[in-house]
Chains A and B, each alone.
Chain A
Amino acid sequence: METHVVVNVAIAASVAGLVIGVALLRRSRHTREQLGGIGRRRPVATLALALYFAVAVLDSISWRDGAGAAEPRSIVDRWFPADFAERSYSAPLADVEFYGGAPLAHPGAHWLGTDILGRDVLHLALGGARVALLIGGLTSLLAIPLAILLGVVAGWFGGRIDDTVFFLLSTLASIPSLLLLVALVMVLGTGAVQVCIALAVTSWVSFCRVSRAETLKLRELDYVQAARALGASHARILWRHVVPNLMHLVVITFVLTFSQLVLSEAILSWLGVGIDGSWGQMIDQARDELARDPVIGWNLGAASVALFGLILAVNRVGDAVRDVLDPRTLRELQ
């Protein structure tokens, strides 16, 4: 199957996962209006996050123009002219190449300049949002459902099942996460899906731990006990009463994990095993560019600002989400 089709499907699945998550959340005791309060508490960060999300989604929907076109192009790609490349570096808004001074194909049109291969930096930076969304979305899609399932089942049934899950948890948790991540990527091989799988393996532990601990608590609550006494099946109680009531903790954990995921990918890129097109890769290239004379900074600058903006927005919104949804429990659980 072609990559752009896979990506389209992955994005659709991520968005669907988001919708399901929100639907589960609305069934919980914690009301919807609390979530609405986040936008009011952190208007700028929420707006910024929405923008990143929009760019990422727009850049994920791509198609081929007729059979003759070589590459499928996304909506964001279509904001730029078709052959929007130079031969090598050009400074922002420059009319000539940075080295040598040969005239550019698109003089004054590259707002943020071009990189060593002549690609437009603004275009590249926008494309990084898609990779970030892929990292967050695909990883969560892989990690969260399984983590909740194992955590809830372990917490609910206890005994051998719980012992097994707990053993798994403490085993994975005891491997320093960067080393585990690197080892996984090495063995699985590089590529977007492989990196996301590796990130999922390192990040599912916290989701599973939270679900398990909260299930242990919920199990003792009156209404859950009542449902048991009324003869509801295990599956029904778990789905109707337990899972919805721990979703808010999962959401908080997700928001707090997301920035870690994106930052980890940047480190992987730096180590040469990241995802193509990520901001981490752009920063990695800047290692050489800072050593040049004169220094080339726009590539690094664009990637850094884009990465910093996203992480900052996520951190700010994450704080608000935690305050609104749950001021205390999470710290007790961890």
Chain B
Amino acid sequence: MIAYLLRRLVWGAVTILGVLLFLFWLFVLYAQPEDVARRALGEKAPPEAIAQWLVNHGYDRPAVWNPEAPLDTRLFDHLSRMLRFDFGASDADDAPIAARLRSGIGPTLGVTLPLFAIGLPLSLALALGVAFFRDTYIDRLGVVVCVLAMSVSILLYILGGQFLLGKLLRWFPISGFDPDPGLALRFLALPVFVGVLAGLGSDVRFFRTVFLEETGRDYVRTARAKGAGDARVMLRHVLPNAMIPVLSAVSLTIPFLFTGSLLLESFFGIPGLGSITVEAIQNNDFATLRVMVYLGALLFIAVQVATDVAYTWVDPRVRLE
């Protein structure tokens, strides 16, 4: 068990290194610094300004190999700063990235935590219900609705939700944010609602498949032969077993809690990490984007390792191996 966790930790570390190298290649080697500078300063910037910008942002140093000072390279700089969470300044406006991210975490969690806390139980409950009525019209109808719902682009959920609930019915403010908790709730309700709705189709369908797979297993037959009723079989036997595949599916979506839903945030004007990312895209701010990608991957890897620990808790079979 300890060896297993150690192995996973090593895997995580190696993967983080891989991600960092990939980002280095993509943002530092592949993207020409002159292009980045020109995008930041404008096409007609004088060459001196560009040169100065490159010096200011450390782009003038050797990329990988510096015979005089082996540690004074952009690769080393990139690795050490990313690992120390020293993210430096934005390419677009020279504001410190770390501070901006800190200010974005709150609003992002304001959207994604309720989204997660409502969406996951809701889709699990709906899936359990649909699976409970398997091979009936309710089940078939449920599947059709799911397929229809998951065929709609998230853009349409956002537009439709905002138009219908915000503009026509005027239940919610169309967009915006206020850090005051009482007001924030009003602003967050619509994006959370739209986000839950948009994810429901594919989630319910996936969880239904998981549940149905479990209901076909031998131990379910045993439970029935004992005299357990349908509800008991579902809640006491199928659900705990289904938690194993559910856990791994859910773990894949957790990083999104922090990176935020790019679309929801930017569209509803919530100043979270997602909006920061979208701004970075629009401003050609490579430095910020690189940090966001790195943090997203870091989180993903951390969650994967954490999930492996959680498995030992959900699945007794993993515990001793």
Contact = CB atoms under 8 A, between A and B. Distances in A.
A132 B123 CA distance: 30
Q: DSSP majority for the A interface?
A: helix
A312 to B, nearest CB: 4
A181 to B, nearest CB: 10
Contacts of B18: 167-168, 170-171
Contacts of B30: 187
Contacts of A175: 19, 22, 293, 296-297, 300
Given A176-B297, A290-B159, A308 B167 contact: no
Given A267-B263, A290-B159, A179 B293 contact: yes
B81 to A, nearest CB: 18
Interface in A163-186: 167-168, 170-172, 174-176, 178-180, 182-184, 186
B15 interface: yes
Interface stretch (A1-9, A70-78, A95-103, A268-276): A268-276
Interface residues of B, number: 47
B11 A272 contact: no
A283 B156 contact: yes
Contacts of A284: 155
A15 B176 CA distance: 47
Interface stretch (B104-112, B281-289, B309-317): B281-289
Nearest to B174: A291
Contact of B153 (A168, A172, A263, A287): A263
Nearest to A286: B159
B14 interface: yes
Most chain B beta carbons < 10 A, residue from A183, A283, A284: A183
Nearest to A316: B147
Chief secondary structure at chain B's binding surface: helix
A266 interface: yes
Interface string B277-304: 1100110101001101100110011001
A312 B147 contact: yes
Contacts of B289: 182-183, 186
Given A174-B19, A270-B263, A283-B159, A183 B154 contact: no
B155 A266 contact: yes
B281 A283 contact: no
A315 interface: yes
Contact of B300 (A168, A176, A267): A176
A253 interface: no
B159 A315 contact: no
Contact of B155 (A179, A273, A283, A331): A283
A176 B286 CA distance: 17
B112 to A, nearest CB: 13
B60 to A, nearest CB: 20
Nearest to B25: A187
A168 B17 CA distance: 11
Interface string A256-286: 0001000100110011110000001001101
Contacts of B300: 174-176
A273 B19 contact: no
Contact of A167 (B14, B27, B213, B293): B14
Contact of A184 (B26, B296, B304): B26
Contact of B255 (A176, A263, A307): A176
Contacts of A331: 209, 213
B15 A315 contact: no
B101 to A, nearest CB: 14
B163 interface: yes
B150 interface: yes
A65 B43 CA distance: 37
A46 interface: no
B215 interface: no
A168 B296 CA distance: 17
B297 A304 contact: no
Contacts of A174: 15, 19, 297, 300-301, 304
Nearest to B262: A178
B259 interface: yes
A297 B27 CA distance: 40
Nearest to B285: A186
A172 B22 contact: yes
Contacts of B231: none
Given A312-B147, A315-B147, A179 B292 contact: yes
B5 interface: no
Interface string A50-73: 000000000000000000000000
B256 interface: yes
A280 B159 CA distance: 12
Interface in A275-329: 280, 283-284, 286-287, 290, 295, 300, 304, 307-308, 311-312, 315-316, 319
A175 B301 CA distance: 9
Given A290-B163, A307-B153, A171 B293 contact: no
B159 A271 contact: no
A270 B292 contact: no
Nearest to B17: A171
B31 interface: yes
B99 interface: no
Given A175-B19, A272-B281, A283-B153, A183 B304 contact: no
Nearest to B12: A174
A259 B281 contact: no
Contacts of B83: none
B148 interface: yes
A300 B296 contact: no
6 contacts: A176-B296, A182-B277, A182-B289, A183-B290, A300-B159, A316-B147
Given A259-B151, A311-B151, 4 more contacts: A263-B153, A272-B281, A308-B152, A311-B153
4 shortest interchain CB distances as A-B pairs: A171-B18, A312-B151, A311-B151, A176-B296
